[in-house]
Structure 1
Amino acid sequence: MSDAAAGAPQLISPFLWFHDGAEEALRYYVDVFPDSEIEEIQRYPDESLDPHYAGMAGKVISAWVRLGGVRFGALDGGPAFTLSEAVSFVVACRDQEEIDRYWAALSHVPEAEQCGWCKDRFGVSWQIIPADMGRLLQSPAQIQAMMAMRKIEVAALEALA
């Protein structure tokens, strides 16, 4: 039995730094992914308590959610750091219908779309791919076709097998 199945805490969890809007993003993700919930949200206290809180009162200092059963953390940290494509989250889909559904929900930056990668309206990068992607990339023709795709089209890759 895995630690997760036994109820042990998840050893490693991604933690997302948003300039602003962490709560909006997390609520959106909870709606997009099944088996998801907001576990807790803590807010910055009264900004008069510490100069680091200037302009942050009421924003998210720490939040924890489960998305598809995976624990994520997030905060509103201001503009010091930004999200980038250097880190993305893989959504392994059962079929084309599921790919299409997640793509419609998460892809909001057309210029960021390539090979199943997309970026949502909050700046988070996702890879929306078939769970059996390895099976669909057995030939050079399949790999070449995938590289030219924005959203992965399973039938087109299968036709090249």
Structure 2
Amino acid sequence: MKVIQHLWFEKDVEAAVRFYVSLVPGSSVRFVSPLPADTPSGPAGSVVVVGFTLGDQSYMATQAGPLDPFNHSFSIMLECDTQAEIDRLWDALGDGGTIEQCGWLRDRWGLTWQITPRRLGELLGDPDRAKAKRVATAMLGMVKLDIAALEAAARG
């Protein structure tokens, strides 16, 4: 069995997917398929299905007009090894979107992302619970996550 996340876009699905794929190494568009005119889903070309991967995760996206907007109950988390990666993704995905707290943002299509350092999970899972609490407190005070500041909080 394969698990594939599905995203519903009101419009611009191909532009959104090509943008996402350009940002995440190892990603690709597998197919773009406008539904033919004889389907009951709407005018020809109004419904588009896109299959793609982001890193090692598979996704399917549909453009089929308004339904439910994206919300925080689903987000894509990108774990980064360096502050430069965080900065690059933060700037690109945040452009035209909405910046939020704790490494979260919404892109220009409304999809929610978490741009986090891989090190954050290690620090939050540290057996020294006082250290983990300092890291969590520092993270909760940040907008874009800062690896050096999280490491400093861990050290006390």
TM-score range, shorter chain: 0.7 to 0.9
Aligned to 2:138: 145
Structure-1 separation of matches of 2:132 and 2:17: 38
**TM-score scaled by length of structure 2:** 0.85
- AA paired with 2:118? A
- Kindly report which structure 2 residues correspond to 1:9-158, keeping only aligned pairs within 5 A, or say none: 11-46=2-37, 49-54=38-43, 57-108=44-95, 109-110=97-98, 112-137=99-124, 138-158=131-151
Superposition deviation, residue 33 in structure 1: 1.1
Moved >4 Å (runs of 4+): none
2:41/2:47 contact within 8 Å kept: no
Deviation by residue 1:49-80 (Cα, 9 ceiling, x = unmatched): 355314xx224432101111321100112112
Deviation by residue 1:19-69 (Cα, 9 ceiling, x = unmatched): 0111110111111111111111110222xx355314xx2244321011113
RMSD in angstroms over aligned alpha carbons? 1.7
Structure-2 separation of matches of 1:32 and 1:150: 20
For these two proteins, the number of residue pairs brought into alignment is 147
1:61/1:77 contact within 8 Å kept: yes
Deviation by residue 1:72-97 (Cα, 9 ceiling, x = unmatched): 10011211222112100110111111
Structure-1 separation of matches of 2:28 and 2:122: 32
Residue 69 of structure 2: SS of its match in structure 1?
coil
**TM-score scaled by length of structure 1:** 0.83
- AA paired with 1:126? W
Aligned-residue identity in percent: 37
Q: 1:85 to 1:53 in 2, by over 3 A?
A: same
Specify every segment of 5 or more residues in structure 1 that has no aligned partner in the other structure, as ranges. Answer: 1-9
